[in-house]
A and B are shown apart, each in its own frame.
Chain A
Protein backbone atom coordinates (compact mmCIF):
# COMPACT_ATOMS: atom_id res chain seq x y z
CA UNK A 1 0.00 0.00 0.00
CA UNK A 2 1.39 3.40 -1.03
CA UNK A 3 1.62 6.04 1.71
CA UNK A 4 0.22 9.52 1.14
CA UNK A 5 3.74 10.99 1.01
CA UNK A 6 4.90 8.47 -1.59
CA UNK A 7 1.86 9.16 -3.66
CA UNK A 8 2.49 12.91 -3.47
CA UNK A 9 6.12 12.37 -4.50
CA UNK A 10 5.08 10.20 -7.40
CA UNK A 11 2.54 12.73 -8.64
CA UNK A 12 5.00 15.58 -8.25
CA UNK A 13 7.67 13.71 -10.19
CA UNK A 14 5.16 13.00 -12.91
CA UNK A 15 4.16 16.63 -13.11
CA UNK A 16 7.78 17.69 -13.39
CA UNK A 17 8.33 15.15 -16.15
CA UNK A 18 5.35 16.51 -18.04
CA UNK A 19 6.57 20.08 -17.62
CA UNK A 20 9.99 19.05 -18.86
CA UNK A 21 8.58 17.21 -21.85
CA UNK A 22 6.43 20.18 -22.77
CA UNK A 23 9.58 22.25 -23.10
CA UNK A 24 10.86 19.73 -25.62
CA UNK A 25 7.63 20.18 -27.54
CA UNK A 26 8.48 23.84 -28.05
CA UNK A 27 10.86 23.94 -31.01
CA UNK A 28 12.10 27.46 -30.26
CA UNK A 29 13.09 26.46 -26.74
CA UNK A 30 14.97 23.45 -28.11
CA UNK A 31 16.87 25.59 -30.61
CA UNK A 32 17.66 28.06 -27.83
CA UNK A 33 18.88 25.34 -25.49
CA UNK A 34 21.17 23.93 -28.16
CA UNK A 35 22.71 27.34 -28.91
CA UNK A 36 23.23 28.05 -25.21
CA UNK A 37 24.77 24.59 -24.75
CA UNK A 38 27.09 25.35 -27.65
CA UNK A 39 28.23 28.60 -26.10
CA UNK A 40 28.69 27.01 -22.68
CA UNK A 41 30.92 24.37 -24.27
CA UNK A 42 32.81 27.07 -26.18
CA UNK A 43 33.37 29.00 -22.95
CA UNK A 44 34.49 25.90 -21.04
CA UNK A 45 36.88 24.65 -23.70
CA UNK A 46 37.90 27.97 -25.27
CA UNK A 47 41.68 27.42 -25.02
CA UNK A 48 41.31 24.08 -26.84
CA UNK A 49 38.83 25.27 -29.48
CA UNK A 50 40.48 28.57 -30.36
CA UNK A 51 43.48 28.12 -32.65
CA UNK A 52 45.16 31.28 -31.32
CA UNK A 53 45.33 33.06 -27.99
CA UNK A 54 42.76 35.86 -27.60
CA UNK A 55 45.49 38.49 -27.17
CA UNK A 56 48.06 36.90 -29.45
CA UNK A 57 49.17 39.40 -32.11
CA UNK A 58 50.43 38.40 -35.54
CA UNK A 59 51.89 40.32 -38.46
CA UNK A 60 48.70 39.66 -40.47
CA UNK A 61 46.84 42.90 -39.82
CA UNK A 62 43.26 43.08 -41.11
CA UNK A 63 43.58 39.77 -42.95
CA UNK A 64 40.22 38.79 -44.48
CA UNK A 65 38.67 35.44 -43.54
CA UNK A 66 40.71 32.50 -44.83
CA UNK A 67 41.44 28.87 -43.97
CA UNK A 68 44.07 30.08 -41.55
CA UNK A 69 41.93 32.76 -39.88
CA UNK A 70 38.30 31.70 -40.23
CA UNK A 71 36.93 35.08 -39.17
CA UNK A 72 39.95 37.11 -40.34
CA UNK A 73 42.16 39.22 -38.10
CA UNK A 74 41.75 42.64 -36.48
CA UNK A 75 43.82 45.83 -36.31
CA UNK A 76 46.52 44.12 -34.23
CA UNK A 77 46.56 40.93 -36.27
CA UNK A 78 44.63 39.03 -33.61
CA UNK A 79 42.52 36.08 -34.76
CA UNK A 80 38.88 37.18 -34.64
CA UNK A 81 37.57 33.61 -34.36
CA UNK A 82 39.71 32.93 -31.30
CA UNK A 83 38.63 36.20 -29.74
CA UNK A 84 34.96 35.47 -30.35
CA UNK A 85 35.32 32.05 -28.72
CA UNK A 86 37.18 33.51 -25.75
CA UNK A 87 34.65 36.34 -25.58
CA UNK A 88 32.00 33.87 -24.48
CA UNK A 89 33.95 33.55 -21.23
CA UNK A 90 33.42 37.24 -20.52
CA UNK A 91 29.96 38.12 -21.76
CA UNK A 92 27.95 35.05 -20.77
CA UNK A 93 29.02 34.63 -17.11
CA UNK A 94 28.76 38.38 -16.56
CA UNK A 95 25.27 38.51 -18.07
CA UNK A 96 24.17 35.66 -15.80
CA UNK A 97 25.76 37.30 -12.78
CA UNK A 98 24.17 40.63 -13.65
CA UNK A 99 20.71 39.13 -13.95
CA UNK A 100 21.22 37.22 -10.70
CA UNK A 101 22.22 40.44 -8.91
CA UNK A 102 19.42 42.50 -10.41
CA UNK A 103 16.79 39.85 -9.68
CA UNK A 104 17.92 39.43 -6.07
CA UNK A 105 18.01 43.18 -5.43
CA UNK A 106 14.74 43.80 -7.27
CA UNK A 107 12.91 40.84 -5.72
CA UNK A 108 14.03 41.78 -2.23
CA UNK A 109 12.87 45.37 -2.61
CA UNK A 110 9.65 44.31 -4.33
CA UNK A 111 9.02 41.63 -1.73
CA UNK A 112 9.51 44.11 1.08
CA UNK A 113 7.25 46.61 -0.66
CA UNK A 114 4.53 44.05 -1.21
CA UNK A 115 4.73 42.56 2.25
CA UNK A 116 4.99 45.70 4.33
CA UNK A 117 2.82 47.93 2.09
CA UNK A 118 2.08 51.46 3.27
CA UNK A 119 4.75 54.11 3.18
CA UNK A 120 7.67 51.73 2.53
CA UNK A 121 5.77 50.30 -0.42
CA UNK A 122 5.09 53.78 -1.81
CA UNK A 123 8.72 54.86 -1.44
CA UNK A 124 10.22 51.75 -3.02
CA UNK A 125 7.78 51.53 -5.88
CA UNK A 126 7.89 55.22 -6.78
CA UNK A 127 11.67 54.93 -6.90
CA UNK A 128 11.32 51.85 -9.10
CA UNK A 129 8.96 53.78 -11.40
CA UNK A 130 11.52 56.56 -11.61
CA UNK A 131 14.27 54.23 -12.78
CA UNK A 132 11.90 52.21 -14.95
CA UNK A 133 10.65 55.31 -16.71
CA UNK A 134 14.06 56.44 -17.74
CA UNK A 135 15.74 55.41 -21.02
CA UNK A 136 17.93 52.63 -19.70
CA UNK A 137 21.05 53.30 -21.68
CA UNK A 138 21.22 57.00 -20.78
CA UNK A 139 21.04 56.20 -17.09
CA UNK A 140 23.45 53.29 -17.45
CA UNK A 141 25.84 55.54 -19.37
CA UNK A 142 25.68 58.20 -16.69
CA UNK A 143 26.33 55.61 -13.98
CA UNK A 144 29.12 53.85 -15.88
CA UNK A 145 30.74 57.17 -16.74
CA UNK A 146 30.51 58.39 -13.16
CA UNK A 147 31.93 55.18 -11.71
CA UNK A 148 34.65 55.03 -14.34
CA UNK A 149 34.75 52.77 -17.40
CA UNK A 150 35.39 49.14 -16.51
CA UNK A 151 33.55 45.87 -16.92
CA UNK A 152 32.71 45.68 -13.23
CA UNK A 153 31.19 49.16 -13.26
CA UNK A 154 29.28 48.38 -16.44
CA UNK A 155 27.72 45.40 -14.65
CA UNK A 156 26.82 47.63 -11.71
CA UNK A 157 25.38 50.25 -14.05
CA UNK A 158 23.14 47.70 -15.73
CA UNK A 159 22.03 46.35 -12.33
CA UNK A 160 21.03 49.90 -11.41
CA UNK A 161 18.72 50.13 -14.42
CA UNK A 162 17.54 46.50 -14.47
CA UNK A 163 16.20 45.84 -10.95
CA UNK A 164 12.83 47.66 -11.08
CA UNK A 165 11.09 45.09 -13.25
CA UNK A 166 11.79 42.35 -10.69
CA UNK A 167 10.56 44.62 -7.91
CA UNK A 168 7.33 45.24 -9.79
CA UNK A 169 6.63 41.59 -10.53
CA UNK A 170 7.71 40.43 -7.08
CA UNK A 171 5.48 42.98 -5.42
CA UNK A 172 2.40 41.90 -7.36
CA UNK A 173 3.23 38.24 -6.72
CA UNK A 174 3.59 38.79 -2.99
CA UNK A 175 0.41 40.86 -2.89
CA UNK A 176 -1.60 38.08 -4.48
CA UNK A 177 0.16 35.30 -2.57
CA UNK A 178 -0.60 37.03 0.72
CA UNK A 179 -4.27 36.43 0.16
CA UNK A 180 -3.84 32.75 -0.70
CA UNK A 181 -5.48 30.21 1.57
CA UNK A 182 -2.29 28.28 2.23
CA UNK A 183 -0.67 31.42 3.61
CA UNK A 184 -3.69 32.15 5.78
CA UNK A 185 -3.61 28.54 6.92
CA UNK A 186 0.03 28.75 7.92
CA UNK A 187 -0.64 32.01 9.78
CA UNK A 188 -3.57 30.39 11.56
CA UNK A 189 -1.44 27.45 12.66
CA UNK A 190 0.80 29.94 14.44
CA UNK A 191 3.49 30.91 11.89
CA UNK A 192 4.75 34.46 12.23
CA UNK A 193 4.43 36.76 9.27
CA UNK A 194 8.14 36.42 8.58
CA UNK A 195 7.95 32.63 8.71
CA UNK A 196 5.03 32.73 6.30
CA UNK A 197 7.03 34.97 3.96
CA UNK A 198 10.01 32.64 3.83
CA UNK A 199 8.40 29.22 3.99
CA UNK A 200 5.17 29.77 2.09
CA UNK A 201 5.33 32.85 -0.10
CA UNK A 202 8.89 32.92 -1.42
CA UNK A 203 8.95 29.32 -2.70
CA UNK A 204 5.74 30.01 -4.60
CA UNK A 205 6.96 33.11 -6.36
CA UNK A 206 10.39 31.73 -7.26
CA UNK A 207 9.13 30.20 -10.51
CA UNK A 208 7.80 33.37 -12.15
CA UNK A 209 10.87 35.33 -11.06
CA UNK A 210 13.10 32.71 -12.69
CA UNK A 211 11.16 32.96 -15.94
CA UNK A 212 11.41 36.72 -15.78
CA UNK A 213 15.15 36.46 -15.21
CA UNK A 214 15.41 34.23 -18.27
CA UNK A 215 13.47 36.74 -20.32
CA UNK A 216 15.76 39.50 -19.11
CA UNK A 217 18.98 37.58 -19.73
CA UNK A 218 18.97 38.61 -23.39
CA UNK A 219 18.42 42.25 -22.55
CA UNK A 220 21.17 42.16 -19.94
CA UNK A 221 23.57 40.78 -22.54
CA UNK A 222 22.62 43.54 -24.97
CA UNK A 223 23.06 46.30 -22.38
CA UNK A 224 26.41 44.97 -21.23
CA UNK A 225 27.72 44.58 -24.77
CA UNK A 226 26.29 48.01 -25.60
CA UNK A 227 28.17 49.73 -22.79
CA UNK A 228 31.35 47.98 -23.87
CA UNK A 229 30.69 49.08 -27.44
CA UNK A 230 30.53 52.66 -26.20
CA UNK A 231 33.83 52.20 -24.39
CA UNK A 232 32.19 52.32 -20.97
CA UNK A 233 32.57 48.61 -20.23
CA UNK A 234 35.32 46.17 -21.12
CA UNK A 235 38.61 47.91 -21.84
CA UNK A 236 41.17 46.84 -24.43
CA UNK A 237 42.62 44.32 -24.96
CA UNK A 238 39.83 42.14 -23.54
CA UNK A 239 37.94 40.16 -26.18
CA UNK A 240 34.50 41.39 -25.13
CA UNK A 241 31.99 41.05 -27.98
CA UNK A 242 30.60 44.59 -27.79
CA UNK A 243 34.08 46.10 -27.63
CA UNK A 244 35.07 43.98 -30.63
CA UNK A 245 32.16 45.36 -32.65
CA UNK A 246 33.42 48.82 -31.70
CA UNK A 247 36.83 48.07 -33.18
CA UNK A 248 34.97 46.89 -36.29
CA UNK A 249 33.23 50.27 -36.40
CA UNK A 250 36.60 51.99 -36.52
CA UNK A 251 37.41 50.09 -39.71
CA UNK A 252 33.97 49.55 -41.14
CA UNK A 253 35.17 48.53 -44.60
CA UNK A 254 36.92 45.55 -42.97
CA UNK A 255 33.53 43.97 -42.40
CA UNK A 256 34.77 40.80 -40.72
CA UNK A 257 36.18 42.58 -37.67
CA UNK A 258 32.74 43.69 -36.46
CA UNK A 259 30.44 41.20 -38.18
CA UNK A 260 31.40 38.03 -36.31
CA UNK A 261 31.40 39.31 -32.72
CA UNK A 262 28.00 40.86 -33.48
CA UNK A 263 26.70 37.53 -34.74
CA UNK A 264 27.95 35.97 -31.51
CA UNK A 265 25.93 38.49 -29.48
CA UNK A 266 22.89 37.95 -31.70
CA UNK A 267 23.04 34.16 -31.40
CA UNK A 268 23.39 34.21 -27.60
CA UNK A 269 20.66 36.81 -27.06
CA UNK A 270 18.36 35.07 -29.53
CA UNK A 271 18.86 31.76 -27.71
CA UNK A 272 18.05 33.39 -24.35
CA UNK A 273 14.94 34.99 -25.85
CA UNK A 274 13.79 31.76 -27.50
CA UNK A 275 14.01 29.98 -24.16
CA UNK A 276 12.51 32.82 -22.14
CA UNK A 277 9.67 33.36 -24.59
CA UNK A 278 8.77 29.67 -24.53
CA UNK A 279 8.59 29.69 -20.77
CA UNK A 280 6.59 32.90 -20.71
CA UNK A 281 3.57 30.98 -21.98
CA UNK A 282 3.64 28.82 -18.88
CA UNK A 283 3.16 31.90 -16.71
CA UNK A 284 -0.02 33.33 -15.32
CA UNK A 285 -1.30 35.87 -17.89
CA UNK A 286 -1.66 38.46 -15.12
CA UNK A 287 2.07 38.31 -14.45
CA UNK A 288 2.89 38.33 -18.14
CA UNK A 289 1.08 41.63 -18.38
CA UNK A 290 3.11 43.04 -15.50
CA UNK A 291 6.28 42.03 -17.33
CA UNK A 292 5.52 43.59 -20.68
Chain B
Protein backbone atom coordinates (compact mmCIF):
# COMPACT_ATOMS: atom_id res chain seq x y z
CA UNK B 1 0.00 0.00 0.00
CA UNK B 2 1.64 3.28 -1.05
CA UNK B 3 2.07 5.91 1.65
CA UNK B 4 -0.30 8.86 1.44
CA UNK B 5 1.46 12.16 0.76
CA UNK B 6 1.57 14.63 3.63
CA UNK B 7 -0.98 17.02 2.09
CA UNK B 8 -3.49 14.16 1.82
CA UNK B 9 -2.80 12.47 5.16
CA UNK B 10 -2.55 15.73 7.12
CA UNK B 11 -6.30 16.43 7.39
CA UNK B 12 -7.00 12.86 8.56
CA UNK B 13 -4.36 13.05 11.27
CA UNK B 14 -5.55 16.50 12.33
CA UNK B 15 -9.16 15.29 12.45
CA UNK B 16 -8.26 12.29 14.63
CA UNK B 17 -6.34 14.40 17.15
CA UNK B 18 -9.05 17.09 17.16
CA UNK B 19 -11.65 14.40 17.95
CA UNK B 20 -9.51 13.23 20.86
CA UNK B 21 -9.05 16.76 22.24
CA UNK B 22 -12.75 17.56 21.71
CA UNK B 23 -13.86 14.44 23.61
CA UNK B 24 -11.65 15.29 26.56
CA UNK B 25 -12.78 18.92 26.37
CA UNK B 26 -16.46 17.93 26.48
CA UNK B 27 -15.80 15.62 29.41
CA UNK B 28 -13.95 18.34 31.33
CA UNK B 29 -16.78 20.82 30.58
CA UNK B 30 -19.35 18.38 32.00
CA UNK B 31 -17.17 17.92 35.09
CA UNK B 32 -16.90 21.70 35.44
CA UNK B 33 -20.70 22.01 35.30
CA UNK B 34 -21.07 19.37 38.02
CA UNK B 35 -18.46 21.13 40.14
CA UNK B 36 -20.22 24.48 39.85
CA UNK B 37 -23.50 22.81 40.89
CA UNK B 38 -21.79 21.34 43.95
CA UNK B 39 -20.33 24.75 44.75
CA UNK B 40 -23.76 26.41 44.42
CA UNK B 41 -25.40 23.82 46.68
CA UNK B 42 -22.59 24.19 49.19
CA UNK B 43 -23.08 27.95 49.21
CA UNK B 44 -26.80 27.51 49.90
CA UNK B 45 -26.07 25.08 52.72
CA UNK B 46 -23.47 27.40 54.22
CA UNK B 47 -26.01 30.21 54.19
CA UNK B 48 -28.59 27.90 55.75
CA UNK B 49 -26.15 26.79 58.47
CA UNK B 50 -25.35 30.41 59.25
CA UNK B 51 -29.05 31.30 59.55
CA UNK B 52 -29.89 28.16 61.57
CA UNK B 53 -27.10 28.94 64.01
CA UNK B 54 -28.32 32.50 64.50
CA UNK B 55 -31.94 31.39 64.88
CA UNK B 56 -31.00 28.58 67.32
CA UNK B 57 -29.19 30.96 69.65
CA UNK B 58 -32.13 33.30 69.59
CA UNK B 59 -34.69 30.61 70.38
CA UNK B 60 -32.77 29.02 73.26
CA UNK B 61 -31.54 32.30 74.71
CA UNK B 62 -28.06 30.83 74.79
CA UNK B 63 -26.13 33.09 77.19
CA UNK B 64 -25.34 36.72 76.79
CA UNK B 65 -24.43 36.40 73.17
CA UNK B 66 -27.68 34.64 72.47
CA UNK B 67 -29.57 37.28 74.39
CA UNK B 68 -27.79 39.99 72.49
CA UNK B 69 -28.63 38.29 69.23
CA UNK B 70 -32.18 37.73 70.49
CA UNK B 71 -32.60 41.47 70.99
CA UNK B 72 -31.83 41.96 67.35
CA UNK B 73 -33.69 39.23 65.49
CA UNK B 74 -31.95 37.45 62.66
CA UNK B 75 -33.56 37.04 59.26
CA UNK B 76 -34.56 33.49 60.10
CA UNK B 77 -36.05 34.40 63.43
CA UNK B 78 -37.80 37.53 62.26
CA UNK B 79 -39.66 36.09 59.35
CA UNK B 80 -42.49 33.66 59.82
CA UNK B 81 -41.88 32.16 56.40
CA UNK B 82 -38.16 31.49 57.08
CA UNK B 83 -38.52 27.81 58.16
CA UNK B 84 -40.24 26.91 54.93
CA UNK B 85 -37.51 28.67 53.02
CA UNK B 86 -34.89 26.67 54.91
CA UNK B 87 -36.79 23.47 54.25
CA UNK B 88 -36.88 24.38 50.60
CA UNK B 89 -33.11 24.92 50.47
CA UNK B 90 -32.45 21.59 52.19
CA UNK B 91 -35.02 19.88 50.01
CA UNK B 92 -33.26 21.25 46.95
CA UNK B 93 -29.86 20.08 48.17
CA UNK B 94 -31.17 16.63 49.12
CA UNK B 95 -33.12 16.14 45.90
CA UNK B 96 -30.33 17.55 43.73
CA UNK B 97 -28.89 14.09 43.24
CA UNK B 98 -26.46 13.03 40.62
CA UNK B 99 -26.95 12.92 36.91
CA UNK B 100 -26.12 9.82 34.93
> Do A and B bind?
no
| Residues of B that sit less than 8 Å from A by CB | none
